[in-house]
Amino acid sequence: MSSTVQPGKEGVASFRTKLFTAMMIIVATLTALGLYFAQRKIMADAGRDLQQNFQAELSSLHDVEELRQAALAEHCRLLAAKPRIHAALEDNALDLLYPSAKDELRDLMEGEEPSQTGPSLHAKFYRFLDGAGAVLSPPNPRDVGPLGPEAEMQLILKKLPETQQIGYIRENADDADEIVDEVVAVPIFSTETGDVISALVVGFEPFELIGKGAGAGRKSGIWLSGYLYLPALSKPAQAALGSEIAKAITNSTSEQNNFTVTLNGAPELLFYKRLNPSSLFPPAYEICVYPLADSMAQLHRLRWQIGGASVLLLLGGLVASRFVAARLAVPVEKLALDSEENREQRKRVETALASTSEKLKRSTRYSADASHQLKSPVTLLRAGLEGLLAREDFKREIYEELSALLHQTHRLNGVIDDLLLLSRMDAGHLQIESEPVNLSQIIEEWLDDLGALPDSPDVKIEKELPVDLYIAGEKRYTSLIVQNLLENARRYNRPDGLIRVTAHRERTEIVLAIGNTGRSIPCDEHEHIFERFHHRSTASDVSSHGLGLNLARNLARLHSGDLRLVRSEKDWTEFEARFPIAAQAPDGAGQTT
Amino acid sequence: MRRLAGFNTVVALLPISALAQATVEGRVELPKSHLAPVMAKRYEIVTRGGVLSTQPPLAVVYLAGSFPKASSPSTKQIAQKDLTFIPSLLPVQLGTKIEFPNLDDTYHSIFSYSPAKRFDLGRYRPEERPIPSEVFDKPGLVTLRCDIHEHMRGLILVLNTPYFVVTDANGRFRLGGLPAGQYALKAWIDSKTTLEKPVHLKSGEVSQVDFP
């Protein structure tokens, strides 16, 4: 049995696995997509935020520069308008330039100290460029801000600028106290010719980017001609990062960009932007390095969240898949099982049925055939015996013998009739043609007959019958049942015994009880008395062919009723037959309720 | 020095014996002025393309050569009035002392970075006495500026000759009392332009020289 069911279960299991796998794939895909997009979004967000921060800082820097440059331009305009400067430049008295400018630029050099809050115009140094763009050496460097020769070399321009130029120079390049200065070259126009006759180059300390909201880890510096000035980093780190930036700058046409770098093992986002676009001075870039730790932490957190959500989703998916699979699988499983089982069962049943029906056919045919084959000789025998009885030339003993034989043929005939009936029932050929049957009347008739029987012992009959109890049945078979029961009641009775017949309605049924005195049926036989050819062990002397109760019960059941032994003890045996009440009493018949 | 002093005396006497002297007259073709002629004859120093000149144009005609220095340096004046130098163009002989009286009721601060003469008189009031002055002992063009009034310009043409004259507005000049001989007559038109013509001067004669 179990081996036949196995394929069905396996099928369901594989269906469940497939369903779960599909769900897993979906959840895994969703998770992967979620992680991918989350990562992209976070990195983009971080990049955008930092970019904005960088741009904001740059724009503030730019504002400061513009302010400074505007101030310087005004300064230089005024300066150029100063008769002494003009005189020095136009009257070929360059040696008098610095002394003349000293007074004019005094406020530039001795301006307010750089404050923490805002930009100042406090210059570190200034130099004039001659007509060829070379630096005019100051007679007294202390007045104009000392500058090393290497630094001074960086001020040289190929030609005098027409507009302001921003540049950056390194001071003390090889020392530990390396600094970068921002220089602004301002052209000086001759008030007489309108030509650029000189340029004033003013050096400032570059403004530090004042970062807000970018976190404490932000580092800013300046990249200049391949060298990175980023004081927050060690010299080797600066050099390494500087070459990295140089690579990025040479590979990119854009003047600003960003890329991720690794500093001290931690990822950081580096922004660079040219500080002096289209300047005559060498290109310089503002460098800002932002730690990505926050973003990384956020990413990490989000990864965990998405991972957790995915696990939950997966678990949910598992449960859901099991549930769905179960929901889907139950009918499928049932179908599979049913189909498997059905096939097997059907096959078995079919074969069994085939053989049974074959057997049945054979047996019923056999019974019928046998009954018919038996009836003819019995009829012949009876006719012969009756013929013999009709003669008057035999001795009295012979008549008695013949009479006994004739009785036996009657009995034999009864057995054959019963067998025929039973075989018809077994073959399913017997059907009740249900109609209202007056049970009371049948009982009365049979009780009348009972007294007329030749070998009837002397028994008393009690009856408690309502008149006209109608049941649904076929009269001849109902009659057979009643006959069988009454005959038994008489047959197994004792002398001076009692037969009590009662009948009453019980809801939709009519209950007929027939009890008789006499030896009771032992308990162990109770369940066998309805079997065919059963003989009561206690009444072997009683003439019985052992088919009556079996036939009666089968007929009662054909009537949709039943027959059972109610009790058999202490000189009282009682059977009870139930019949369905007739739906409708025949016209004119009085109904007793 | 004595000889030189004696020579100087001779030269100083030259104008007196005018008959024996030569004279040059003519006209200098002055640059076209795009301003209407000024009746008040007020001249300014203007710069056009880095070139200093007077406006309306004037020229200085002088006889170049080696002449003895003036025995006693003369004193001339360039006043500052109405925030201009008057005269705006002053040719002087080498060694001339020039006083710069302030005729305005404001401060002036006259200085020059010109190679021919560097000086700085500093700020001074009109009542400043003695009148600030400088001696110009190097030939060349000296640009006068005022440190307070940046537009003020004045030109001093320090010449190594006693014979020079400023043309009139039409460029006409007459330069008399010249020694006879072969000289170069020069016409300073602006800071970048000095024309030159050879002249053969004869006593008692008037030579006609036009520039160009």
Q: Judge whether A317 lies within some domain.
A: no
Q: Report whether B24 contacts B185 (CB < 8 A).
A: yes
Q: Answer yes or no: is pLDDT of B45 > 80.
A: no
Asked if the Cβ–Cβ distance from B118 to A193 is below 8 Å, we say no
- Give how far Cα A418 sits from Cα of A108, A380, A439, A488, A526, Å: 144, 19, 21, 15, 22
In a domain, A536, yes or no: yes
Alpha helices in A427-474 (DSSP H): 439-452
Q: Closest-CA residue in chain B for A97?
A: B113
Considering only residues B110 and A526, tell me which one the structure prediction assigns the higher pLDDT: B110
Q: Does residue A155 surpass a pLDDT of 70?
A: yes
Rounded to two decimals, what is the model's pTM? 0.51
- Write out chain A residues lying below 8 Å of B50, CB-based: 90, 190, 192-193, 195
Distance CA A519, CA A460 (A): 16
Return the residue in B48, B113, B141, B191 with the most chain A beta carbons within 10 A, the one to mutate for interface testing: B113
- Of B149, B143, B135, nearest to B80 (Cα)? B149
Tally of domains in chain A:
2
- Chain A's closest residue to B147, CA to CA, is A83
Q: What domain range includes position A94?
A: 49-295
Structure-model confidence comparison of residues B163 and A123, the more confident one:
B163
Question: In this complex, do A193 and B112 lie within 8 Å of one another by their Cβ atoms?
Answer: no
Regarding predicted confidence, which is higher, B119 or A65? B119
How far apart are the C-alpha atoms of A241 and A232, rounded to whole Å? 12
CATH classification at residue A570: 3.30.565.10
Nearest to B145 among A87, A190, A193 (CB): A87
Cβ-based contacts under 8 A for chains A and B: 47
DSSP state of A162: S
Let me know if residue B81 belongs to a domain: yes
CB pair distance less than 8 Å for B114 and A81: no
Chain B residue nearest residue A89, CA to CA: B113
Contact criterion met (CB < 8 Å) for A93 and B114: yes
Distance from CA of B149 to the nearest CA of A (A): 8
Record: contact B50-A81, CB cut-off 8 A: no
What pLDDT score was predicted for residue B7? 44
End position of a domain, from candidates A239, A260, A295: A295
Q: By CB neighbour count within 10 A (0-12 exposed, 13-18 middle, 19+ buried), where does B180 fall?
A: middle
A556 domain residue, yes or no: yes
Q: What is the pLDDT of residue B98?
A: 92
Which conformational region is residue A194 in: left (phi greater than 0), alpha (psi within -120 to 50 degrees), or beta?
Answer: left
CB contact under 8 A, B145 and A86: yes
Inter-residue contact A25 to A18 (CB < 8 Å) = no
Instruction: For residues A361 and A291, give the distance between their C-alpha atoms in angstroms, rounded to a whole number.
Output: 98
Bigger pLDDT: B108 vs B20: B108
Contact indicator for A252, A270 with CB cutoff of 8 Å: no
- Mean predicted lDDT score pLDDT of chain B: 81
| Number of domain units in chain B | 1
pLDDT tens digits, one per residue of A15-49:
667 777 877 788 788 878 888 887 888 778 877 88
A462-486 mean pLDDT: 85
User: Which of residues A249, A269, A295 is at a domain's end?
Assistant: A295
Q: A173 falls in which pLDDT band (50, 70, 90)?
A: low
Residue B8 predicted with pLDDT over 50:
no
Q: What is the pLDDT of residues A70-121, one digit of tens each?
A: 777 777 777 767 778 878 877 778 778 888 787 777 777 765 554 444 456 6
Question: Is A109 in contact with A90 (CB distance < 8 Å)?
Answer: no
Residue A79 with chain B: CB contacts under 8 Å: none
Q: Which of B50, B52, B113 sits opposite A88 (nearest CB)?
A: B113
Chain A residues in contact with B115 by the CB 8 A cut-off are: 91-93
Whether A184 maps to a domain, the answer reads yes
First to last CA, chain A: 55
Of A206-215, A317-326, A412-421, A558-567, which gets the smallest average pLDDT? A206-215
Say yes or no for a CB contact (<8 Å) between A93 and B143.
Answer: no
* pLDDT for residue B13: 44
d(CA B208, CA B24): 6
Give Rg (Cα) of chain B: 18
Q: How far is Cα A486 from Cα A475, in angstroms, rounded to an integer?
A: 16
The answer to whether residue B209 sits within a structural domain is no
d(CA A38, CA A25): 19
Is pLDDT above 70 for A367?
no
Q: Is the pLDDT of residue A515 over 80?
A: yes
Residues of B in contact with A193 (CB under 8 A): 47, 49-50
> What would you report as the CA-atom Rg of chain A, rounded to the nearest whole angstrom?
64
- Domain assignment present for A35: no
Residues of A in contact with B49 (CB under 8 A): 193
Note the pLDDT tens digit of each residue in A243-293.
888 888 888 777 778 788 887 777 788 888 888 888 888 888 888 888 777
> What count of other Cβ atoms lies within 10 Å of the Cβ of residue A56?
15
Residue B1 binned pLDDT confidence (cut-offs 50, 70, 90): very low
Selected for mutation to probe chain A from B51, B85, B121, B150 (highest A CB count within 10 Å) is B150
Mean pLDDT within A531-537: 73
Cβ distance of B113 and A82 shorter than 8 Å: no
- Is the pLDDT at A176 greater than 80? The verdict is no
Query: Does some domain include residue A204?
Result: yes
A195 touches B: beta carbon within 8 Å: yes
A83 → closest Cβ in B47, B115, B146 = B146
CATH number at residue B56: 2.60.40.420
**Region A213-227: what's the mean pLDDT?**
71
B113 assigned to some structural domain: yes
The 10 Å CB-count burial string (b at 16+, else e) for A444-467 is eebbeebeeeeeeeebebeeebee
Rounded average pLDDT over A482-500 = 85
pLDDT of residue A116: 45
Chain B contact set for A86 (CB, 8 A): 145, 150
pLDDT band at B207 (very low <50, low <70, confident <90, very high): confident
Nearest-neighbour CA in chain B from A281: distance (Å): 29
Cβ of A191 under 8 Å from any chain B Cβ?
yes
Looking at residue A66, its pLDDT comes to: 79
Of A254, A277, A295, the domain-final residue: A295
pLDDT confidence tier of residue A366, bands split at 50, 70 and 90: low
**Chain-wide mean pLDDT for chain A?**
77
Q: Does residue B212 sit within a domain?
A: no
3-state SS assignment for residue A67: helix
The answer as to whether B173 is a domain residue is yes
Cβ burial, residue A160 (10 Å; 0-12/13-18/19+): buried
Rounded to whole angstroms, how far apart are CA atoms A111 and A102?
13
For residues A422 and A428, give the distance between their C-alpha atoms in angstroms, rounded to a whole number: 10
SS3 for B115?
Answer: coil
In a domain, A102, yes or no: yes
Q: Residue B38 corresponds to which tokens in the numbers above?
A: 């000024």
Give the whole-number percent of chain B exceeding pLDDT 90. 12
Residue of A nearest to B46 (CA): A192
Whether the bond into B101 is cis, omega within 30 of 0: no
Distance from CA of B144 to the nearest CA of A (A): 9
DSSP state at residue A158 = S
Pull the structure tokens for residue A505.
């309605």
CA B92/CA A311 separation, integer angstroms: 105
Partner-chain contact A92 B115, CB within 8 Å: yes
User: What is the distance between the alpha carbons of residues A30 and A40, in angstroms, rounded to a whole number?
Assistant: 15
- Residue B149 structural domain: 2-203
- Residue A303 above 70 pLDDT? yes
Identify whether A286 is part of a domain.
yes
Among B50, B114, B147, select the one facing A83 at the smallest CB separation.
B147
The answer, for A78 touching chain B at a CB cutoff of 8 Å, is no
**Stretch (H or E) spanning A170:** strand A165-171
- Integer Cα distance of A15 and A28 in angstroms: 20
Average pLDDT over residues A403-419: 81
Q: Is B113 in contact with A96 (Cβ distance < 8 A)?
A: yes
Q: What pLDDT is recorded for position B6?
A: 43
| Chain B residues in contact with chain A using a Cβ-Cβ cutoff of 8 Å | 47, 49-50, 52, 111-115, 118, 143, 145-147, 150, 152
Asked if B187 contacts B211 with a C-beta cutoff of 8 angstroms, the reply is: yes
Residue B152: inside a domain, yes or no? yes
CB contact under 8 A, A87 and B150: no
Mean pLDDT highest for which of A19-28, A46-55, A542-551, B105-114?
B105-114
pLDDT digits (tens, 9 = 90+) for B139-182: 999 988 888 888 888 889 999 888 899 998 888 999 888 888 88
Counting Cβ atoms within 10 Å, is residue A532 exposed (0-12), middle (13-18) or buried (19+)? middle
Show residues of chain B in contact with A90, CB under 8 Å: 50, 143
- Does residue A445 sit at the B interface (CB-CB below 8 Å)? no
| B contacts of A190 (beta carbons < 8 Å) | 50
CB-based contact B61:B164 (threshold 8 Å) = yes
